[in-house]
Structure 1
Amino acid sequence: MKKTLFLTIFSALAFLSSCKKEWLETEPTSSTSTATVFETTANAKLAINGLAKLMTTQYLSSQGFNGEGTIKMYYGNYPGNNFFVNLSGWATIINGTLNENVSSTYDYYPWYYYYMIIGNANAIANNIDAASGPYADKQFIKAQALTYRAYCYMMLAQLYGNRWSDSNNGSTPGLVLRTESTTGDMARSTLLETYNLIYSDLNQAISLYASSGKSRTTNYEVNANVAYAIYARAALNRQDYANAESYAVKARTGYALMSVADYKAGFSNATSEWIWSSYGASDETLYYYSYFSYMAYNSSASAVRSTPKCISKELFDQIPATDIRKSLFLDPTGYSYTTSTGVAGTALKARAFVLYPNIYSTSTVYAYMQFKVAANDQPGVGNLNHFRSSEMYLIEAEAKYFQNKDAASIQNLLIELNKTSKRDESYTNTKTGAALLGEIKKYRAIELWGEGFDWFDMKRWGDSIVRKAYANGGNFITSLAITILPTDNNKWTWKIPLKETDNNHLVTN
């Protein structure tokens, strides 16, 4: 985009707000020039810190657009198969009917948000070599910038590119691949060229991480494990299963599966298996604009008090009674509730407050509401996870399956994820063939519920979204109880927003 905000790169960067205030005491952004930012590696480190901050910042004068949390909620959770929220007024987003509306803010937001980060990552990668400071620091900083760029292009490819199975081996249109701080017209590359750049960035970043000999100091920074994790997810999207398997193993190395106690602690603080997350604290809150103000069951925000987030009844029913993850949702068995909406009756509501007394006092309670995600402080403070080793186990299992590898090795991965971790000590797996793939899909849905994967997984697989109303055995309200076929809505591919095509004359839909 030639004339949009993200191309006012470093001089107006948010990198002068930090992920931890003690990391960063600097002059105001209005007086920070490009030369100052890249004068030293010490300054450039602040720019990298700024990329992290951009992922938890409010955008476009709307409380809904809060950085990466919005991508998880509006683009991953809401339109998926297993996530219910009683918002009939959001049917266009939830039912996936806005992705061809090129003037919609929802079509524009991911493009704006990710290219803003890309523009800033380009500035860092292209200027760091001239900075004064230790060579190892330059290598580490460039590796981090390339990691961010690869992540953003991967996410954009999932939204604005076809699923790989519909791409004719990547020959369909991909993204505008800007790697310089340029604002001129530029055509879209193919989807294959898009993934080639993602791979190239990650290969270079991984090499630079190794040669720098440096390591990160917090989970909020990116490092080689993050690059491996991005590689694994990107390769899975591309159906490059050998690389997906290999990099999933590398990504999870050193990140042991979390304990049961940590699993039940609210998914708002880093655990042993968090590979990468965004920082969130009370002194840097977005208040009612934050992800946790839309998601956390104990939030005081009206978006939670009025419409808590719920698992689909069909997925809940598939979770074994012996699985600790089942306890993270309100089981209405034996209690009354409104079957048109899911609002809990008096006894079920009281039961919810007994089980989770930190539910905000004026909250409406729903059957199947979630207790997986909690806020650390009001109205919605928490650290936001992006990659966990659990996902890497599931990527490895799926990649092995599509390479026709030994079923026992895949079964053992799922046993380690579920039984050995004590998430379900009764878990067994002897499935083969299509049933084994179904088991992988089932446990992706259970393990990663609410973390922004639902819609992305269904698109990647080319599976239909089938939501059922209570009358048909589900728990969706009528306006959201629909079936969405893989061929519907431009094959679930968001069109390039009008703000781009109006200003970049080489791009068309």
Structure 2
Amino acid sequence: MKKLLKNILIVTAVSSIVSCKKSYLDTEPTNAISIGTVFETTDNAKMAVNGLAKMMTQQYLSTQGFNGEGTIKMYYGNYPGNHFSINLSSWAPIINSTYNDNTISVYCYYPWYYYYKIIGNANTIILHVDEATGASTQKDFIKAQALTYRAYCFLMLVQLYGNRWDDSHGGSTPGIVLRTDESNGDQARANLEDSYKQIYADLDQAIALYTSSGLKRTKNYEVDASVAYAIYARAALTRQDYANAETYAVKAMDGYPLMTNTEYNAGFCTPNREWIWGSYGASDETLYFYSYFAYIAYNSSASAVRTTPKMISRELYNKIPSTDMRRSLFLDPTGYTYTTSTGNAASSTLLYKYAFTTRPSLNSTASVYAYMQFKIAANDQPGVGNLNHFRSAEMYLIEAEAKYRQGKPDAEVQNLLVALNNTSGRNASYTCTKTGTALLDEIKLYRAIELWGEGFDWFDMKRWNDPINRKTYANGGNFITSLALTITPDANNKWTWKLPLKETDFNTLAE
């Protein structure tokens, strides 16, 4: 595996397929190899799929710390959310979502660039794998994997660059450019409904091919039918297709029991039985200070962590029951002295010393802040770890919300929340008897608690049509003044990123 990830990365080595025509994204390397060579055998084609996996943990655009999927989780899911606190006033345009309509910004451009780069390479695999010499079952499995990647990328693009379903007038508003071949010419955006139809079609075909292949993956970083089911569940939930969300959530979690408390405390950097899909990370493949874990892992030696540790919002923390093990994953400042305008605990304070006592792996020069996170750690310095994308806890929560939205018996929803929170051991005292709107609020609360820091925060708030509401310490929160604000659902282009100028300048039909 290590050798594969170092040496097999098609990116644009098989073709310069990108989201836009002409050459503005032409990054063909000097070691480019022909399509004929890549698809000469199914063994070669498998390595091309492995290249897709590598693309999710690769550095892009040289600056700004763009590191594949980790950047999406941090800059687009965590930073602008409601429950992720970080004292970075200079990042206010990202955290406060004011770059959504700044079409020349690299932050507007990055997700478009990154996901279409994967899509372009997935398209090449889909279109050419049947030319390879090898068993038909292997070809089916490889094509299914490429379709799964494409569906995932389309889904992420739809969430960022498309309206929330509530604002789409039944899916009639613009969606994304559905590039499913190797052409780079002008192409109009599909509407949102057709964008989701393509995601569904890719997943339907992938699932059928996984079945016909009869093959199984061997590593968590590979995709298989379970991953396709999980993407389907998330896509259907986002599209408010609750029947399919429920159906595929149940399928996705099959065979992935909830992790133990010991596994929960292990830093979310090593795959365990609950992980449906993650990205591979190892010391000999590190991105060093550009890696995801160098931006969030509490024990990282990177300055991005040591100087500005990541914190849970004070309000969300206070909603975690004292009997819940997840509360211990954040630094409780109760009874200690710290700076109440920023959360900082000076090295002379008892809170500072307590932090190092409870988490000895903290870097010796790390700053300590009230409510700082201990959930996510690194396996090696400065930021090495495996990155999770889907786990069964999310599927429990999708099933619960889907059942609620369909008006199914409250007991069915309550039982899922009990299974997630009580039966799992996360909180042996947890019970749920809530009904009506209070039950929906309970689902939202436990999505926030369970999935904190994993890149869901902003996406969930957008999907729900709920406002971001951050408060300063003086007002009961723990955000610095420049980031403590309310962002209503209709603000900032309704939380929808506009297409970057680098697309519309070269694709005249895109807008």
Normalising by structure 1, report the TM-score: 0.95
Map residues 118-157 of structure 1 onto 2, 5 A cutoff. 118-157=119-158
Rounded Cα–Cα distance in structure 1 between residues aligned with 2:338 and 2:16: 51
Does the alignment pair 1:102 with 2:103? Answer: yes
Rounded Cα–Cα distance in structure 1 between residues aligned with 2:277 and 2:300: 24
Does the alignment pair 1:208 with 2:212? Answer: no
Selected match of 1:421 from 421, 424, 432 = 424
User: Are the aligned partners of 1:63 and 1:288 in contact in 2 as well (CA < 8 Å)?
Assistant: no
Query: Residue in 1 aligned with 2:365?
Result: 362
Does the alignment pair 1:312 with 2:313? Answer: yes
Selected match of 2:394 from 377, 391, 397 = 391
SS in 1 for 2:277: strand
Selected match of 2:408 from 405, 427, 444 = 405
User: Are the aligned partners of 1:82 and 1:312 in contact in 2 as well (CA < 8 Å)?
Assistant: yes
Rounded Cα–Cα distance in structure 2 between residues aligned with 1:241 and 1:159: 20
Selected match of 1:441 from 439, 444, 468 = 444
Q: How has the CA–CA distance of structure 1 residues 480 and 364 changed in structure 2, closer, same or farther, with 3 Å as cutoff? A: same
Rounded Cα–Cα distance in structure 2 between residues aligned with 1:371 and 1:267: 10
Amino acid at match of 2:405: F
How far did residue 285 of structure 1 move?
A: 0.3
SS in 1 for 2:115: helix
Selected match of 1:10 from 2, 6, 14 = 14
Does the alignment pair 1:286 with 2:287? Answer: yes
- After the TM superposition, which of the residue ranges 226-235 and 126-135 deviates more from structure 2? 126-135
SS in 1 for 2:504: helix
Query: Residue in 1 aligned with 2:185?
Result: 184
Query: Residue in 1 aligned with 2:4?
Result: none
> CA offsets per residue over residues 195-234 of structure 1, 9 Å max, x none?
0000000000000000000000100000000000000000
Query: Residue in 1 aligned with 2:25?
Result: none
How far did residue 93 of structure 1 move?
A: 0.2
Query: Residue in 2 aligned with 1:90?
Result: 91
Rounded Cα–Cα distance in structure 1 between residues aligned with 2:301 and 2:155: 34
Amino acid at match of 1:392: M
SS in 1 for 2:388: strand
Rounded Cα–Cα distance in structure 2 between residues aligned with 1:419 and 1:173: 42
Rounded Cα–Cα distance in structure 1 between residues aligned with 2:431 and 2:224: 35
> CA offsets per residue over residues 349-379 of structure 1, 9 Å max, x none?
1000000000000000000000000000000
Selected match of 1:381 from 381, 384, 388 = 384
Rounded Cα–Cα distance in structure 1 between residues aligned with 2:376 and 2:149: 26
How far did residue 10 of structure 1 move?
A: 1.9
Selected match of 1:478 from 476, 481, 485 = 481
Q: How has the CA–CA distance of structure 1 residues 154 and 31 changed in structure 2, closer, same or farther, with 3 Å as cutoff? A: closer
Query: Residue in 2 aligned with 1:198?
Result: 199
User: Are the aligned partners of 1:11 and 1:30 in contact in 2 as well (CA < 8 Å)?
Assistant: no
Rounded Cα–Cα distance in structure 2 between residues aligned with 1:169 and 1:141: 34
Rounded Cα–Cα distance in structure 1 between residues aligned with 2:98 and 2:362: 33
SS in 2 for 1:503: coil
Query: Residue in 2 aligned with 1:166?
Result: 167
Query: Residue in 1 aligned with 2:333?
Result: 332
SS in 1 for 2:371: coil
How far did residue 63 of structure 1 move?
A: 4.5
Amino acid at match of 1:466: N
SS in 2 for 1:276: strand
Does the alignment pair 1:490 with 2:493? Answer: yes
Rounded Cα–Cα distance in structure 2 between residues aligned with 1:230 and 1:9: 27
Amino acid at match of 1:46: M
How far did residue 12 of structure 1 move?
A: 7.0
Rounded Cα–Cα distance in structure 1 between residues aligned with 2:11 and 2:269: 32
How far did residue 8 of structure 1 move?
A: 4.1
Q: Which runs of 5+ in 1 are unaligned?
A: 1-5, 14-27
Amino acid at match of 1:376: N
How far did residue 30 of structure 1 move?
A: 1.1
> CA offsets per residue over residues 5-24 of structure 1, 9 Å max, x none?
x99462579xxxxxxxxxxx
Amino acid at match of 2:450: E
Amino acid at match of 1:379: P
Query: Residue in 1 aligned with 2:56?
Result: 55
> CA offsets per residue over residues 232-270 of structure 1, 9 Å max, x none?
000000000000000000000000000000000100000
Normalising by structure 2, report the TM-score: 0.95
Q: How has the CA–CA distance of structure 1 residues 10 and 236 changed in structure 2, closer, same or farther, with 3 Å as cutoff? A: same
| Percent sequence identity over aligned pairs | 71
Amino acid at match of 2:426: R
Q: Which runs of 5+ in 2 are unaligned?
A: 1-9, 18-28
How far did residue 401 of structure 1 move?
A: 0.3
Q: How has the CA–CA distance of structure 1 residues 190 and 7 changed in structure 2, closer, same or farther, with 3 Å as cutoff? A: farther
Rounded Cα–Cα distance in structure 2 between residues aligned with 1:344 and 1:274: 35
Rounded Cα–Cα distance in structure 1 between residues aligned with 2:195 and 2:139: 26
Query: Residue in 2 aligned with 1:75?
Result: 76
Rounded Cα–Cα distance in structure 2 between residues aligned with 1:507 and 1:203: 27
How far did residue 130 of structure 1 move?
A: 1.1
Query: Residue in 1 aligned with 2:5?
Result: none
Rounded Cα–Cα distance in structure 1 between residues aligned with 2:484 and 2:287: 32
Rounded Cα–Cα distance in structure 1 between residues aligned with 2:294 and 2:307: 12
Selected match of 2:507 from 486, 504, 508 = 504
Amino acid at match of 1:100: D
> CA offsets per residue over residues 426-475 of structure 1, 9 Å max, x none?
00000000000000000000000000000000000000000000110000
How far did residue 44 of structure 1 move?
A: 0.3
Rounded Cα–Cα distance in structure 1 between residues aligned with 2:419 and 2:310: 29
Amino acid at match of 2:374: F
Query: Residue in 2 aligned with 1:25?
Result: none
User: Are the aligned partners of 1:9 and 1:119 in contact in 2 as well (CA < 8 Å)?
Assistant: no
Q: How has the CA–CA distance of structure 1 residues 103 and 433 changed in structure 2, closer, same or farther, with 3 Å as cutoff? A: same
Q: Show structure 1 runs of 4+ deviating over 6 A.
A: none
Map residues 233-312 of structure 1 onto 2, 5 A cutoff. 233-312=234-313
Query: Residue in 2 aligned with 1:24?
Result: none
User: Are the aligned partners of 1:11 and 1:29 in contact in 2 as well (CA < 8 Å)?
Assistant: no
Rounded Cα–Cα distance in structure 2 between residues aligned with 1:54 and 1:148: 11
User: Are the aligned partners of 1:232 and 1:247 in contact in 2 as well (CA < 8 Å)?
Assistant: yes
User: Are the aligned partners of 1:343 and 1:365 in contact in 2 as well (CA < 8 Å)?
Assistant: yes
Rounded Cα–Cα distance in structure 1 between residues aligned with 2:385 and 2:343: 27
How far did residue 330 of structure 1 move?
A: 0.2
Amino acid at match of 1:179: T
SS in 2 for 1:225: helix
Rounded Cα–Cα distance in structure 1 between residues aligned with 2:65 and 2:167: 31
Rounded Cα–Cα distance in structure 2 between residues aligned with 1:474 and 1:187: 44
